[in-house]
Chain A
């Protein structure tokens, strides 16, 4: 609201302190996505409250529980962060291709195969190689397999004209079936009778917790990956080319940009992050590759990426928010007796409202400094 006031008083401000104008312009452009997203979240929560009130429950109690379960205590914060950790990487898996205008929704496939690759390559090394080296090799193997898997969807898109959304989704089913084949067949630990798994990593080879908190290192990896991705997109010529191609493929081609390489490169990078998420699940949580790897993180990542408008930095707070909603979902079930679907309804409502609010971009004068000049 203060921004609006500023925009009205700008002409006089301009005369007195011209140095303030560039800052306000910068602020206004940055404020637009934040203001619209916050407005959308507010409307989404209001709609959801209505829904909760309609089934005869107290929305106030519900929001108190979401806060308490997600962020109210140190335990709750760690709970939310633990759940956010895999979402950071799987959201990147969706957000990076989205900057090129591609809707890739098959992160789950990269996650499970990355996990299997990590577990498979670790087993012969365990005992001989030091743990950090094994983790590095596991990470590289997971990323490579994930990159090949989703890079293939990008390849099909550019060179064969196959829709990348459908291709990546179907590839995810194939990936899960392939994982099941591997863990029930060639890679199966004979001791895993009723839950087919690869042989477990010894405890010394498990990625531990971040010192001082009960959250595994996957959180740090995810945050670093988000920051690096932001730098890649915002500060490199490769990222700039990708944004141009995402805006208008024809224009990018006329400019001589390597659109095919960009598409395959970005989908492969996305797959690498998905594969890394799977490898971390194995090394930090599961200890072996098994069917539990398909825990749905790849699909929740789609939601996170869209809520963050495919901005890698925005993925960090959004993933934490969704981790928190997820963490408090249990408390809502236990204290209010509401079904698990409650949280899904909340997530779905937010998703739809935020997509709807995309239409607001560029419609408000206060966020558009170019229009200020004209009015002045």
Chain B
């Protein structure tokens, strides 16, 4: 029901933009030709494809918010499709957007859409531009009409960790994670390192659910973390909604991820690491409208406006606010590293040597396969 209500709001907002295109589509149904003439002329039609629901308070919502930002631009029609599996379905959805809606710029937003699905479509439609969220594009290996964009969100989790480090009384914080892959491990490690910058005695328990979206296990994991004494919880799953609501109900503080979850736990929400895709999509669309070449490999962090932090919640103390803002300012100035030697993994092996430091765009971080000392949990 809430899904339907949400959608009907969205319709009223979009009614102006889409009425002409939809009318043209219906009018053209009789001859069996679906390409709307209005869209073909000067309007840039942009397609967005999501792997889950676009109101999931998480990964997909973050992209849908970015799509909403470009709907406001003049001369842009946005077409969206949610809950599209990473199978033949997404290939056909891309083709359908191109053939039936006249889309010339397509954003398949889920990581698993890249290979082979987007690459197949890019080969078949060389005049259409495809940009994929996830940082997989390689010069020479992948077609020129494709590209990647991604954000360095680890420093956002580091800032989450600072807020958590001040809020925790038990000195135990918790992380609900989907899979032990480099991106997720980097977030877990950054979260703990942020907390340890406040108090080196803090430990972080991690529980992997094994799936990107599995509400029951996420609730179980959150409960288990709280049962074991964790009093600040964050996560890296597609939709943090279950973790946020369960954790807050059990009295834990919450650090958000992907999108702003403060409406779900207004009192307990400390801050959150959010994507700022609106900036990235606006940039792509403006370039496409101006006829400029779109970037093939676009990345950035907090400084570049790819990532943002949720406003600090009411439970954040003054001391925490100062440290948070000082660190944020340091990050915005550039050159900040979360991973500075020496760092040991939680089995005692040195993973970042003394004197070594990795900036957020360091290639070494992309193949991270360890949990740092102080994280309770295992990658396998």
Contact = CB atoms under 8 A, between A and B. Distances in A.
A and B: real partners? yes
Interface of A: 55-56, 61, 64, 68-69, 72-73, 75-76, 79, 82-83, 85-86, 177, 180, 184-185, 193-196, 200, 216, 281, 285-287, 290-292, 295-297, 326-327, 330-331, 333-341
Interface string B49-82: 0000100000000000000000000000001111
A334 B81 contact: yes
A195 B112 contact: yes
Contacts of A340: 53, 81-83
22 contacts: A73-B32, A73-B33, A73-B34, A73-B99, A75-B95, A76-B100, A79-B95, A85-B88, A86-B88, A177-B210, A180-B211, A195-B111, A200-B116, A292-B86, A295-B86, A327-B92, A330-B81, A334-B97, A337-B7, A337-B11, A340-B83, A341-B3
Interface in B1-38: 3-4, 6-8, 10-11, 14, 18, 21-22, 25-26, 29, 32-34
B356 interface: no
Contacts of A326: 89
A137 B18 CA distance: 51
Given A68-B29, A184-B180, A340-B83, 4 more contacts: A86-B88, A295-B89, A333-B80, A335-B21
B87 interface: yes
Contacts of B8: 55-56
Contact of A79 (B25, B92, B380): B92
B179 A196 contact: yes
Nearest to A340: B83
B26 to A, nearest CB: 6
Nearest to A339: B7
Interface of B: 3-4, 6-8, 10-11, 14, 18, 21-22, 25-26, 29, 32-34, 53, 79-89, 91-93, 95-97, 99-101, 111-112, 115-116, 134, 179-183, 210-212, 366-367, 380
A193 B367 contact: yes
A337 B80 CA distance: 8
A287 B115 CA distance: 9
A86 B134 CA distance: 28
A338 B10 CA distance: 9
A235 B92 CA distance: 38
Chain A contact surface mostly: helix
A330 B181 contact: no
B87 A290 contact: no
Nearest to A297: B87
5 tightest CB-CB pairs across the interface, nearest first?
A292-B86, A295-B85, A340-B83, A334-B79, A337-B11
A86 B182 CA distance: 32
A287 B380 CA distance: 25
Contacts of A292: 85-87, 112
B72 to A, nearest CB: 16
B286 to A, nearest CB: 23
A335 B95 CA distance: 15
Nearest to A329: B81
B179 A193 contact: no
Given A195-B112, A281-B87, A335 B25 contact: yes
B32 A330 contact: no
Contacts of A185: 380
B154 to A, nearest CB: 13
Contacts of B80: 333-334
B261 to A, nearest CB: 21
B96 A75 contact: yes
A331 B22 contact: no
Contacts of B95: 75, 79
Contacts of B26: 61, 64
Contact of A83 (B6, B34, B88, B180): B88
A326 B181 CA distance: 32
